[in-house]
């Protein structure tokens, strides 16, 4: 999620008036049991599996501790904890195999993750996990899991061939299914109208007025809201890697209905492999309504390149570069129409089995279509996201963002003299999601956003807290 200031024209107009899967085709039980039948031959595809993975050497056992007098154990008493744990692990593995046989790879992955967490020595389960990730199109997770196997186990030649095959695989699903995500949340915000908190606006010494007191309606007002969202993706079978997407989001306030929000988006994305890396292209259009009026519309094109992932022990990372062009128009205030250009250096990393990090930073330029006050703008944007997978206990996500834009000429020489608008937006979002079932999740979100500006009426802050439920197909 990237936080976008959608209201520069709103505040400005107020002042001037006074946003290949590879099919699993392997019997994973053979990975654990040994060689496949002698008649099993493959002309192409992954090499046959003939040997199990050797577990890491076990450390020498510690000498048994002496028992205190009177604490002797009967000779016929046998420890049962280890046996019970093995029974549970075997049952998890059987459930995972059944889920794979029934065509439920996501459920199988969840069971295998639980099995690996209980017993990290299960190399066969790790290998099954890697192949399932590839089947689902998760190329990075496939490579990370394979790197974990190589760094933790002595891998026999047959398994090494299999690892090399899947490491070079594009992991593009042969058939991708449509996805649909719906969510509803309710919360409270400290600033529904994005107004300033300071009612006093100070002008330059040469201005006709020394200061101005803003009307109470122009200041920040808190409110409660209900927000609903529906997002969908439709892969195109006639062109691998092409996906159509669309979405609609609506926020309804309890009192400030003039600031109710609706956003409709539609677009297409395409991804393909190039030089062992990947190239992404996306074209999108979205329309934004504020209250009952059309406020803003955007048309954007995004392209980017990701290098091949590099494994470091049980972690994997990749770098890239992307470029985005966005044409923005304000039907009610064409003075602020313009085109924005963004160039980013990007990085993604999967650290261990649970942590994911994504980062981008780079310059930003804005060129106005008309005589916008302040003329063109330049600056930079930086964005950092951290995801931590809590397994059956859910997922935690943190997002940090900072963006600075500086005008090229003074904003309004009459009232603000030689002051050039210098605006910096900082935001942090925290979210925790708890899975209720395979498709339903309960989540809570906190947002804090602050915009500082050399032109006082444009500075504001927002704090927001909400809880919601989401459904994913």
| Domain presence at residue 15 | yes
Query: Is there a single domain that holds both residue 151 and residue 187?
Result: no
Burial 297-333 (b: 16+ CB within 10 A, else e): bbebebebbbbebebeebbbbbbbebebebebbbeeb
pLDDT at position 49: 34
Q: Which residue, 316, 338, 317, 341, is CA-closest to 329?
A: 338
| Domain presence at residue 76 | no
| Domain presence at residue 65 | no
Strand ranges (DSSP E) for 330-439?
338-351, 355-368, 377-389, 395-407, 422-435
Query: Is there a single domain that holds both residue 440 and residue 295?
Result: yes
Beta-carbon contacts of residue 165 (< 8 Å; ≥ 6 apart): 45, 46, 47
Q: Which residue, 347, 278, 345, 273, is CA-closest to 316?
A: 347
The two structure tokens encoding residue 455: 């032109």
Q: What is the CATH number of the domain that holds 227?
A: 2.40.160.40
Other beta carbons within 10 angstroms of residue 346's beta carbon come to 19
Query: Is there a single domain that holds both residue 94 and residue 163?
Result: yes
206, burial (CB in 10 Å: exposed 0-12, middle 13-18, buried 19+): exposed
How many folded domains does the chain comprise?
A: 2
Q: Kindly list the averaged pLDDT for each block of 10 residues, start to end, along the chain of length 473.
A: 51 44 34 35 37 38 42 46 73 78 76 76 77 77 78 76 72 72 97 91 89 90 97 88 95 96 97 84 97 95 91 82 97 91 95 89 94 92 95 93 96 91 97 93 97 92 97 92
> For residues 253 and 262, what is the distance between their CA atoms, to the nearest angstrom?
12
Q: What is the CATH number of the domain that holds 42?
A: 1.25.40.10
Query: Is there a single domain that holds both residue 273 and residue 223?
Result: yes
pLDDT at position 224: 97
Query: Is there a single domain that holds both residue 153 and residue 295?
Result: no
DSSP string, 144-168: HHHHHHHHHSB--HHHHHHHHHHHH
Beta-carbon contacts of residue 72 (< 8 Å; ≥ 6 apart): none
Query: Is there a single domain that holds both residue 51 and residue 184?
Result: no
> For residues 465 and 446, what is the distance between their CA atoms, to the nearest angstrom?
5
Range of the domain at 445: 8-19+176-472
Query: Is there a single domain that holds both residue 217 and residue 160?
Result: no
Query: Is there a single domain that holds both residue 319 and residue 461?
Result: yes
What's the predicted TM-score (pTM) here? 0.70
Query: Is there a single domain that holds both residue 135 and residue 218?
Result: no
Beta-carbon contacts of residue 252 (< 8 Å; ≥ 6 apart): 225, 226, 227, 260
On whether the CB atoms of residues 175 and 28 are closer than 8 A, the answer is: no
Note the pLDDT tens digit of each residue in 115-140.
777 776 677 777 888 878 887 777 77
Domain boundary at 108, 141, 168, which?
Answer: 168
> For residues 61 and 136, what is the distance between their CA atoms, to the nearest angstrom?
41
DSSP string, 21-64: PPP--S-HHHHHH-PPPTT---SSSSPPP-SPPBPPPPPPPPPP
pLDDT at position 207: 87
Beta-carbon contacts of residue 2 (< 8 Å; ≥ 6 apart): 19, 383, 401
The H or E element spanning position 238 is none
């Amino acid at each position: 999620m990237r936080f976008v200031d959608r209201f520069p024209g709103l505040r400005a107009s107020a002042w001037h008036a006074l946003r290949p899967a590879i099919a699993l085709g392997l019997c994973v039980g053979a990975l654990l049991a040994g060689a496949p039948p002698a008649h099993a031959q493959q002309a192409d595809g992954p090499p046959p599996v003939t040997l199990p993975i050797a577990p890491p050497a076990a450390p020498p056992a510690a000498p048994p501790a002496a028992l205190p007098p009177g604490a002797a154990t009967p000779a016929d008493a046998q420890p049962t904890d280890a046996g019970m744990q093995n029974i549970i692990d075997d049952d998890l593995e059987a459930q995972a195999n059944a889920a794979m046989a029934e065509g439920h790879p996501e459920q199988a992955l969840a069971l295998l993750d639980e099995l690996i967490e209980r017993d990290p020595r299960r190399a066969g389960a790790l290998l099954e996990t890697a192949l399932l990730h590839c089947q689902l199109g998760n190329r990075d997770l496939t490579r990370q899991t394979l790197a974990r196997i190589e760094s933790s186990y002595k891998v026999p030649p047959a398994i090494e061939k299999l690892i090399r095959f899947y490491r070079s695989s594009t992991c593009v699903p042969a058939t991708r299914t449509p996805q649909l995500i719906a969510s509803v949340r309710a919360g409270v915000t400290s600033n529904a109208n994005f107004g300033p908190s300071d009612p006093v606006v100070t002008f330059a010494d040469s201005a006709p007025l020394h200061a101005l007191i803003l009307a109470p309606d122009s200041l920040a007002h808190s409110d409660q809201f209900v927000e609903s969202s529906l997002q969908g993706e439709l892969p195109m079978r006639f062109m691998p890697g092409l996906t159509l997407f669309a979405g609609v989001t609506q926020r309804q306030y309890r009192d400030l209905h003039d600031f109710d929000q609706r956003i409709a988006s539609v677009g297409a994305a395409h991804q393909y492999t190039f030089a062992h890396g990947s190239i992404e292209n996306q074209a999108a259009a979205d329309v934004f309504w504020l209250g009952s009026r059309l406020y803003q519309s955007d048309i954007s094109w995004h392209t980017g390149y990701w290098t091949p992932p590099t494994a470091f022990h049980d972690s994997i990372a990749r770098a890239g570069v992307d470029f985005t062009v966005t044409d923005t128009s304000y039907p009610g205030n064409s003075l602020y129409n313009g085109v924005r250009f963004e160039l980013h250096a990007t990085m993604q990393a999967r650290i261990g089995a649970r942590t994911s990090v994504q980062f981008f930073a780079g310059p930003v330029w804005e060129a106005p279509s008309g005589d916008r006050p302040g003329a063109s703008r330049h600056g930079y944007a930086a964005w950092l996201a951290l995801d931590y997978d809590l397994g059956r206990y859910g997922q935690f996500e943190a997002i940090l963002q900072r963006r600075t834009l500086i005008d090229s000429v003074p904003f309004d020489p009459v009232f603000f003299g030689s002051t050039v608008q210098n605006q910096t937006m900082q935001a942090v979002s925290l979210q925790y999601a708890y899975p209720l079932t395979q498709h339903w999740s309960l989540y809570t979100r906190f947002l804090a956003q602050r915009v500082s500006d050399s032109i006082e009426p444009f500075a504001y802050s927002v704090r927001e807290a909400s809880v919601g439920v989401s459904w994913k197909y």
